[in-house]
């Protein structure tokens, strides 16, 4: 993938205008981490895989959810997954606030910058049952908004019922499914894997194949 394609995948979290990972502030709206610092204050020190700042998870639920997160990381060791549960200030716009937490919450090491950052963060606002997912620049060319929306949709029903641990599990499992689909797609796009071939009914010795049924 060309460098210009990577840059086009990066967008400002405040106005969603195209941006570059090397710019310190958005050319369109002026948003920057320094602006967020002045607006939001001091970010809490967070940790992976789950930071329950709001204290809504029980011990068993947290351990079970952490186990599902770790399964995803074992299947895809190229990335890491962090979940943050906290009361987001009512006056704070969710997307810029999540971006600020992503960058100021100490969820990534100092060397995981720019294209080297392959973190997936799920932020759950426990005061309003809102949730947002965000990925590092290293994943933006591959994991798009539509994939994250599918993961958030999977977590929506348990989240609305106040089942935070189940929401985390649902998000993580859907993320793993999306990643597996992406791996197949990328291989096919680069010619590393032959797409499945429908059998021709006229070929000798082979039976015709009908429509596949969904396994889900």
pLDDT in tens, 17-34: 887 767 778 888 888 889
Inter-CA distances, 26 with 39, 98, 134, Å = 16, 16, 18
pTM: 0.79
- Calpha distance 83→72 (Å, rounded): 13
Cα–Cα nearest to 151, from 125, 127, 169: 169
Instruction: Please check the confidence at residue 215 and state whether its pLDDT lies above 50.
Output: no
Query: Is the CB of residue 117 less than 8 Å from the CB of residue 108?
Result: yes
- Write the pLDDT tens digit of every residue in 85-107: 999 998 899 999 999 999 999 99
- Write the pLDDT tens digit of every residue in 124-174: 999 998 999 999 988 888 888 999 999 999 999 999 999 999 999 999 999
Q: What do you get for the CA distance between the two ends of the chain, in Å?
A: 32
- Calpha distance 173→179 (Å, rounded): 10
């Amino acid at each position: 993938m060309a460098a210009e394609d990577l840059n086009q995948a990066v967008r400002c979290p405040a106005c969603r205008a195209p941006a570059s990972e090397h710019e310190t502030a958005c050319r369109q709206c002026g948003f920057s981490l320094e602006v967020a610092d002045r607006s939001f204050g001091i970010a809490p020190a967070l940790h992976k895989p789950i930071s329950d700042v709001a204290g809504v998870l029980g011990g068993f639920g947290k351990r079970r959810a952490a186990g599902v997160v770790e399964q995803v990381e074992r299947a895809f060791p190229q990335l890491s997954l962090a979940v943050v549960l906290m009361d987001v200030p009512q006056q704070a716009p969710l997307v810029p606030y999540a971006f600020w937490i992503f960058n100021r919450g100490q969820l990534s090491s100092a060397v995981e910058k720019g294209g080297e950052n392959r973190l997936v963060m799920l932020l759950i606002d426990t005061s309003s049952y809102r949730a947002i997912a965000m990925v590092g620049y290293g994943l933006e060319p591959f994991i798009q908004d539509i994939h994250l929306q599918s993961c958030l949709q999977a977590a929506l029903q348990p989240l609305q019922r106040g089942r935070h641990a189940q929401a985390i599990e649902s998000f993580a499992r859907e993320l793993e499914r999306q990643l597996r689909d992406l791996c197949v797609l990328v291989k096919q796009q680069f010619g590393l894997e032959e797409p499945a071939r429908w059998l021709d009914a006229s070929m000798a010795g082979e039976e015709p194949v009908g429509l596949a049924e969904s396994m889900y």
